[in-house]
Structure 1
Amino acid sequence: MTDDVTAQPTAQPEPDERWTALLAQVKTLPNLPGVYRYIAADGAVLYVGKALDLKKRVGSYFQKNDQSPRIKLMLTHVARIDTTVVRSEAEALVLENNLIKALSPRYNILFRDDKSYPYVVLTGHKSPRLAYYRGALDKRNRYFGPFPNGYAVKESIQLLQKVFKLRTCEDTVYANRSRPCLLYQIKRCSGPCVNLISPEDYQRDVQHAERFLSGKGSELLEELETRMQAASDSWDFELAAALRDQIQSLAKVQERQFVSSNTNELDADIVACVIRQGTLCVNLAMVRGGRHVGDKNIFPSHGEDYDDAEALAAFLAQHYLERSVPPLLLCNPAPDGAALIADLLSEQAGRKVVINSNPNGERRVWLEMATKNAELAILQRQAQAASQAGRLTALVEALDLPEETQRIECFDISHTMGEATVASCVVFDRGDMQPKEYRRYNIEGITGGDDYAAMKQVLTRRYEKVANGEGKMPDLILIDGGKGQLTQAEEVMAEVGLTQPTLLGVAKGETRKAGLEQLIVATTHAVIRLPTDHAGLHLIQQIRDESHRFAITGHRARRAKARVASSLEDIEGVGPKRRQKLLARFGGLQGVKAASVDDLMLVDGINAELAERIYAALR
């Protein structure tokens, strides 16, 4: 079987062995529901789809002559077709989206979230804790959300602290308090850790917070007003005043919501999909307990040939299957297969889930707002792309780079006195930073603090693969550093046999101030200084700063892990003074790890027995 990339997927394709084999395979497919996968010659999954009738659906790809350019290109790379038969179209939809999430096929539209959505959690402790939470849900706790972003959760927690004064401290802190903390002093906590509130009263505040988070704010206000009046009638004016303050705070919380519902306890998500000038955006807004808690804009990958209804259906399936879903989804436009998706989500949630694309009243206003927000997000994204394109053009002109320059990769090294050295590679391509293509490299086997060796190692590891045909070739490589680091880059390019990328060193200059960067050209090592307001310099600064951020984040994580795993603090007989002497003598923890027993004995206060103990503990 050969892979003839020139074959055209039309109604009468050019007969070749690969195409003939694919048509023969299509004829053997069953007329049953299932999932199909187009596989390339190297085993990569190109596309995953579902079908009520596998034979008809897959066969349609090889019979139509009006396929989009994307589908035509995909079919030229298909080497075989894998299928999985299931019992129903609903099962096919679930399996399709599980495979899309797991395999990230090149030709599927992909709605990716880097992280799980955040929640407000009330823990299942005797004195429950109010906290911010991301991750898998634990049945022992009560979760409220999800929220569209962390800011919405943190703001909600701050507001709830003012009203209900629930603890937010970690269990280790809570269990070891002998006096109330600062939060008690500023009236953000009722002090359950030192019994300044009875367990019964604290549980009542927890129940009030839970009711408010569940959308029963108006009902809660009425109850508090009744209790305040009763306390006043019984001349318990101190309790009445405390309840009055709580009512006022609760009312202010409700007033702060910029969108509210006339229907209490409403939980809904508003989802609008918009396509403008080839850009597709989904705006997801969340209403919890009748209160709008925020929204986010999502730009999918590989959405060029999808219409808005197809894209919205893909989003609903990828986003909500195997994730909590509210009882109402307001959608614009009506998604393809809305009834099937609603049935699946209802079965998953254990209650009815409604998908409504033609709401009335305030819900229509919400949907129009989400649509408008998606349109504005597209305009902002296009404006940003235009700005980045202008910066790239200015850089190309200033440095006399090839006109086709698009992909820029930047490298930086981060460590602390030689400890836990990490190198970063960030990528600018297609007019923007590409976080999914960033890479970190743990640097091993060099002298601690040798930035030149570290740079040589990371560049070798990166571009040996590119030279062997793995990965994309950059047009420009930025090296964060001076002539020494640039020289290492030149040597690596010569060793791996790459001559195409342009190399450019980015040195901070004598005063290390932004805007005074020196650009060092490869080979000649000529120094170029662009004006501080130069658009090309701004692009270099953006990429270099992102590389630095990515490197130092990875370094800190690696350093913390190393110190937790093998810390000097855990070794008996090594106190603060001895730790300080060891780190100063060997330049950090990595140096101490590399030292022999005899080397360790040279440190003041370290005898043979302790040196052997340190040596063994760090290995």
Structure 2
Amino acid sequence: GSDADPMAAVRALEELSGVAEGTIKRVESYDISNLGNDDICAGMVVFRDGRADKRAYRLFRMKTVESQDDFASMREVLTRRFAHNAEDGFEYPDMILVDGGKGQLSAVASVVNELVPDAGILLAGMVKNSRHRTSGILFLDGTFIKLDNDDPSDRDILLLRFLSAVQNEVHRFAITYQRKLMTKRNIRYRLENIEGIGPAKRKALLAHFGSVKKIEEASAGQIAEVKGLGEKDAVKVYSYFHPEEGEEG
């Protein structure tokens, strides 16, 4: 049932990692969220004994990374995370679950080895399938264990449930924070976030209306008059500034 012992998934992780029972108590995972270039934040979620430990979550406002380079961002997150330790309430994780496959996993591994070479932190990658659902777990030695089988074992079900919980939690945490940031900074006044509207179209919009405020006040019909913008673009821009009106209208 759904009351499965959360520790059972952790035991399975220990078994697959080839470590003794009781080795993995604290599991961490990180997520980097991009809000255009100047609002990159990273969330760190912590699971203790198989359950989310929300009081241990942390957020890092990214400082140095100017671009949307996820590897550079991840290096910064890890550097800032490992600047802390048990003395200030950030005890090291026994295991880090990395969102992604081989590339992400080895990138994180090399940074961890560089920052805390003797910490003995275990690593594994949470791999998603083409439908963006968690589908398996990847270890540093290249072992990949597919979990979304047609006839999964109990262990696979437990692990899949645990990894999905970690991924959902990481994502939810970062998004919640992003929303707070957006409200705070009123990012509605930025065109960079409108999907499908690149630099050329942004330029055309600003040249036509003179200011973002004017674009915000325009109707979809008026926006469609901008040179170089199609009707679909106009709808995208309009609904970006008027999200509350939904899809109708």
Q: Structure 1, residues 376-395: CA drift from partner, whole Å, max 9, x if none?
A: xxxxxxx95x6112222222
Q: Structure 1 pair 488/559, CA: closer, same or farther in 2 (3 Å)?
A: farther
Matched with 2:13 is 395
In 2, Cα distance between equivalents of 1:554 and 1:474 = 23
How many angstroms does 1:501 deviate by? 0.7
Q: Structure 1, residues 425-462: CA drift from partner, whole Å, max 9, x if none?
A: 11111442111001111223324432222211111100
Q: Structure 1 pair 494/579, CA: closer, same or farther in 2 (3 Å)?
A: closer
The within-5 A match list for 1:328-407 is: 384=3, 387-403=5-21, 404-407=23-26
1:510 to 130, 137, 144: 130
State the structure with more CA Rg: 1
The within-5 A match list for 1:45-60 is: none
Residue 527, structure 1, aligned to residue 144, structure 2: yes
- AA paired with 2:174? A
- CA RMSD in angstroms comes to 3.5
Matched with 1:421 is 40
Q: Structure 1 pair 558/525, CA: closer, same or farther in 2 (3 Å)?
A: farther
Matched with 2:68 is 449
- AA paired with 1:549? R
Are the counterparts in 2 of residues 398 and 536 from structure 1 also a CA contact under 8 Å? no
SS in 2 for 1:413: strand
How many angstroms does 1:550 deviate by? 0.7
Matched with 1:458 is 77
Matched with 2:182 is 559
Are the counterparts in 2 of residues 482 and 507 from structure 1 also a CA contact under 8 Å? yes
- AA paired with 2:15? E
Structure 2: runs of 5+ lacking an equivalent: 212-249
In 2, Cα distance between equivalents of 1:410 and 1:557 = 21
SS in 1 for 2:110: helix
Equivalenced residues, count: 200
Q: Structure 1 pair 486/418, CA: closer, same or farther in 2 (3 Å)?
A: farther
1:478 to 70, 88, 97: 97
In 1, Cα distance between equivalents of 2:199 and 2:34 = 17
Structure 1: runs of 5+ lacking an equivalent: 1-382, 569-575, 588-599, 612-619
Which contiguous aligned blocks of 4+ residues in structure 1 show a shift greater than 4 angstroms? Answer: 416-419, 467-470, 578-581
Matched with 2:59 is 440
TM superposition score normalised by structure 1? 0.29
SS in 1 for 2:41: strand
Matched with 2:199 is 585
In 2, Cα distance between equivalents of 1:498 and 1:537 = 29
In 2, Cα distance between equivalents of 1:554 and 1:457 = 18
How many angstroms does 1:416 deviate by? 4.3
- AA paired with 1:400? G
2:109 to 470, 486, 490: 490
The within-5 A match list for 1:568-579 is: 568=190
In 2, Cα distance between equivalents of 1:580 and 1:520 = 34
Matched with 1:211 is none
In 1, Cα distance between equivalents of 2:87 and 2:113 = 14
Are the counterparts in 1 of residues 82 and 116 from structure 2 also a CA contact under 8 Å? no
How many angstroms does 1:472 deviate by? 0.8
Q: Which has the higher contact order (CA 8 A, sep 6+)?
A: 2
